[in-house]
Amino acid sequence: MVFSNLFFIYLFLPLNLLLYFAVKNQTWRNVVLLGFSLVFYAWGEPIWVFMLILTALLDYFWARCIERFRAQGNRLRMKLALAASLCFDLGMLGVFKYSGFFMENLNAVTGLSLPVPRIALPIGISFYTFQTISYVVDVYRGTVSAQRSFYRYLMYLSSYHQLVAGPIVRYSDVAAEIENRSTTVQDFSEGITRFCIGLSKKVVVANVAGGLVGQYLDAPLHSLSTAGAWFGALLYSLQLYYDFSAYSDMAIGMGRMFGFHYPENFNYPYISHSVTEFWRRWHISLSSFFRDYVYIPLGGNRRHQIANLCVVWLLTGLWHGASWNFVLWGAFYGALLILEKKGLLKILEKIPRLFSHLYLLFITLVGWTIFYTTDLGRLGGYLRVMFGLSGQPLTDPQLGITFANQLFWLLIALLFCMPVTQWVKHRLQENPTKAKQTAVCVATAMMNVVLLFICTSMLVGDSYNPFLYFRF
């Protein structure tokens, strides 16, 4: 089950809201949310819900142990409990996500023919693994108290709003709201609006882009023009941004409906002027996780900075998928960030902002091409076409036809990569009056109805509704 599904939109979510607000006791509201979250996760493959529960149970236990050992002044046992938690969490992630990749490469290097495991990947395992790791580490650091109630901890870890596609919500972000929260009319209305915006980004933009991406990124290389190769990279860049940010928007919106305030995960990354700025705006919860739990503990900027960046970006690449193109993608961005820290960033700050922005767009288009293409041989061929090194023509007639047919949609997609909605919201909030506030509320409600109608119409008539995060 995914958020951009008519069953979810018109039955699952309304039923969850109805039952949730039908009970007044916070304990029972948590139980209702937990029950729906487990049903949501078990919908596609019920067996994996037991691994989710096991992970929650063990980390709940180890966090309690860490807190008890701290009260006893036993640092050694605290470290052993933390090590046990990390070994289990990372071990499960390694088995399910990387065992096949490891065996394939071991066979290739050694010439052996060892059996390669083909294990289905539990949906969202990378997201909830990082959430539970952050919880246990924060308990170890003493920045949060261990949760006393197992079902409350399980509700935090399994909450379907952000379980399968983020954002990565730390326990500290919602600890108080797990215990006691309320939903105001403003929270609920803003949550609906955020959900509808996210849904429209997914259905109207991301799905349309995804339907075109394969025509270029998967096309025979001999049929591609240089402009076509860049156009394919642009389409994929739009699909990935609108798809991923859409799920974050819907997660944040649903959280608001239930009284949670999840952190923002995207901040218009394509308006950036450097790779450094880009990664402060793209998938913010993942970047902050690696900063706080890997980069800074390794020494951060104080010592071994370059080595620390290399480790972080190797892990970042592998987190996205068990394939060499993700390792290459991580190395690509790691190298660029090192260059920027060693002086390139100062140059980018001095040159006209148009050129620094073009630099960032160029980097992201190349980067997402690497991200998309798992076959390294094809990746090399595609990049040669992009840079005009393959003898292919500069452009082709079919590209012109496709561009003309998609021009309006493309302009809309490019426009909303910029903070247009933020600007509109700011202008509407200037000099507020009761009449103005009423008009804004009415207009927002009408917008939500229109967006929901458009998305419903497109979902009814189109079977193409991909979920990009199965590898996570």
So which residues are the catalytic ones? 320
What is the rounded distance in angstroms from the CA atom of residue 114 to the CA atom of residue 395?
46
* 3-state secondary structure at position 219: coil
**DSSP code per residue over 232-244:** HHHHHHHHHHHHH
With vertex at residue 214, the alpha carbon angle to CA 211 and CA 217, rounded to the nearest 5 degrees, is 140
Tokens of 131: 């959430």
Cβ-defined contacts of 385-391 (< 8 Å, 24+): 385/221, 385/224, 385/225, 385/226, 385/229, 386/226, 386/229, 386/230, 386/233, 387/226, 388/226, 390/221
Residue 320 to residues 286, 288, 289, 405, 460: CA-CA distances in angstroms?
11, 16, 14, 33, 31
58 phi/psi in degrees, rounded to 5: -65, -45
Contact 123, 41 (CB under 8 A): yes
* Burial readout 117-126 (b: 16 or more C-beta within 10 A, e: otherwise): eeeebbbbbb
User: In 258-373, where does DSSP find H-type helix?
Assistant: 275-281, 284-290, 296-298, 305-320, 324-339, 345-350, 353-372
What is the rounded distance in angstroms from the CA atom of residue 144 to the CA atom of residue 13?
31
Up-side HSE of residue 203: CA atoms within 13 Å toward CB? 26
What is the rounded distance in angstroms from the CA atom of residue 293 to the CA atom of residue 149?
25
Contact 62, 136 (CB under 8 A): yes
State the first-to-last Cα distance of the chain, in angstroms, to the nearest integer. Answer: 15
* 3-state secondary structure at position 427: helix
